[in-house]
Amino acid sequence: MNPITLVGAEGAPEPSAQRLFIPYCSNYLHNAESYSQLLKQELAPYDALLKANDQHLRKAAEESLGILLLRVRLDVLNECYGTTPSTSIRRARAAFWDNVWRRQLQGESDAKLLKERDEIVKRIREKLREGDELSAVVKYADMDAVDRSAELWQRNLLPWTKKTSGPIVAEAIISIQPHWARHSVNINGFITWFQALHHFSITNGSGKDLTHMTVEAEIVNEWEEKAANYYFIPELKAGTTCHLMIHPRWASRRLYGRDMTLRYSVWAAERSNVGRTTKLNNPQPIPRAEEYRKNILSWDNGDYGKTGSNLAKVL
């Protein structure tokens, strides 16, 4: 499959609460201590839940905490050994010094030096390939973790949410807007542009503040592939907008997705909507979508997908 390049997305947010990324490597560009503070913030809500009198609530909290820590371990593993922004910087440095070395040895007849240089370059390339593969496995393990989180919502949290939320009303209390990212792909030497779903946003149009709000959103494409997403929003004031990232398993599927369906329900303390549907019409779908889908399915069902699932179980 030809490489795909992301150019940008309209209002593309990467909120820390939705995409946990906490590297602890000392050679990372950012201060590891700041990420440690982020982890403390993410863990704080569990303190009271783990001490709750309700046994089922404690069990759900333990499972949710386990999933959160699993995703943290995967991020740390990827940062230490995979291909990430910091390892890409190290790759650039290695390439720079390799070029310097090449210029230094230009015309050098010392066969031992030339062989030593070639061995170092070979090791760098092998390590980068290994890093790419590890990141691919970690990506699938993270997908598996998010699937577990969705199952936890469906099994334990949604029944409680429905019992404690406000009455179901006919009029819409939120509006949903898809946001698309622009990509390019090289097809037979020609750059072709297309768009893919990046995230969606919800706006409180009820005229009143909504609190303790849970959103269930399921994306379905034309091949009936699905990804369930669950969000908890403590408060969404009247007229304000919240941006929501989508399931990481959808990151590859959205590249070849054309028109999709979003099925969603919203439960809030004040009022609720259930069983709503909206169409997400891709303004510029990718050419040869079936070809890209075939490649991605081969990764899903091949070593990357299976190894990633096994890694999630081990961790």
Q: How confident is the model at residue 33, as a pLDDT? A: 64
**Residue ranges of domains in the chain:** 18-157, 165-284
Q: How confident is the model at residue 79, as a pLDDT? A: 76
74: tokens are 């995967």
| Matching CATH number, 165-284, of 1.10.3720.10, 3.30.70.100, 2.130.10.10, 2.60.40.10 | 2.60.40.10
Q: How confident is the model at residue 15, as a pLDDT? A: 41
Q: How confident is the model at residue 245, as a pLDDT? A: 85
- The stretches in the chain having pLDDT less than 70 are 1-35, 85-114, 116-117, 120-128
- Backbone phi and psi for residue 241, each to the nearest 5 degrees, phi listed first: -120, 140
Prediction pTM value: 0.77
In angstroms, the Cα distances linking 81 to 137, 208, 217 are 12, 48, 34
